[in-house]
Amino acid sequence: MNAKNVLKSIGFLVLIITLASCATIREGEVGVKRTFGKYAKNSFDQGLKFYNPFTSRVIKISTQTENLEVDLSIPSKEGLTIGSEVSILYNIEGRKAPELLRNIGPDYEENVILPVFRSAVADVTSRFYAKDMHTGERATIENAIRDQMMVLMDGKGIKVEAVLLKSIQLPRSLARAIEEKLEAEQQAQRMEFVLQQAQREAEQKRIEAKGIRDAQLIIAEGLDAKILQFKSIEAFQELAKSPNAKVIVTDGDLPMIMEPIDAGNVKVKN
């Protein structure tokens, strides 16, 4: 082997060692160096970091929001067991990543998050009825589980952003009972609407009848004897203008009956 080949081999070896001794920390993660099994006190931010590959390695931890999905059965206040699919949204605080790895290790989901979640969810849901998980109380239950998890994991570098009850599978008999109750409530609301509409229509007719009655009273108050006599004279004048023969029965003041006859002039009977 000549000197040129030796230099090439050395250069290739140096390149391999250089590549093996650097780590790229991407955005949304931190790196923690472990040397002879001992984790460093501080974490690496994003960028290219060099280390001794023979004595150390870099453990990468994501600081982005992670979604941990869990299928489990949860208890209710009345003692029922309810199937549920839950999402736990959490993230790791970058500055506490070294402490998290030293105290818990890289399997923090299995060692901490899931046990704490199972304990919190059993404690919280046992204070609520099964029907509450299908109503507006669901958000209250989710927030209570998250808050209790944060209390139990305080100082561990894990932040629970939200706990989401994505699906609730109630016992069949209870689910049917809830559906029947909702149907009854909807039917009652429809009946109340019909009654209110009927009341509005009745009120409208009452107002119309009152208006007609008031108008008739006003007219009746204005019809005195002189006005009636004047109207009678007008009626006689109109009848007199007609070419047809007529018989008028009257009391002398008002025309009472009109009846056509075959011929002749207008005859007035007192």
Q: pLDDT (tens digit, 9 = 90+) per residue, 44-88?
A: 887 777 777 777 788 888 999 999 999 888 888 877 778 888 999
pLDDT digits (tens, 9 = 90+) for 127-181: 988 878 877 788 999 999 999 999 999 989 999 999 998 877 766 666 566 567 7
Here the tokens at position 21 are 């001794």
Cα Rg of the chain, angstroms: 48
Q: How do the residues of the chain divide into helix, strand and coil, expressed in percent and rounded to 5?
A: 50, 25, 25
249 Cβ neighbours under 8 A, 6+ residues apart: 255, 256, 257, 259, 269
Whether pTM > 0.75 for this model: the answer is: no
Q: What gap in Å lies between CA 204 and CA 184, rounded to an integer?
A: 30
pLDDT value for 72: 87
List the single range of 6-10, 27-31, 133-137, 256-260 with lowest mean pLDDT.
Answer: 256-260
- Measured over the CA atoms of residue 105, residue 111, residue 113 and residue 116, the dihedral's sign is negative
For residues 16-37, give the mean pLDDT. 76
Cβ(75)–Cβ(152) below 8 Å = no
Query: What are the sequence ranges of the domains in the chain?
Result: 3-62, 66-170, 229-269
- In which order are the strands placed within the sheet that holds 56-62? 38-39, 29-35, 56-62
pLDDT value for 176: 66
Q: What gap in Å lies between CA 173 and CA 152, rounded to an integer?
A: 36
Pick the more confident residue, 113 or 187. Answer: 113
pLDDT digits (tens, 9 = 90+) for 210-262: 878 777 777 666 656 666 666 666 766 666 666 665 666 555 555 554 555 45
Pick the more confident residue, 227 or 25. Answer: 25
pLDDT value for 159: 94
Cβ(115)–Cβ(108) below 8 Å = no
Q: For 66-170, which CATH superfamily applies? A: Band 7 domain (3.30.479.30)
pLDDT value for 11: 54
- Give 185's DSSP letter: H
Coil vs helix vs strand at 239: helix
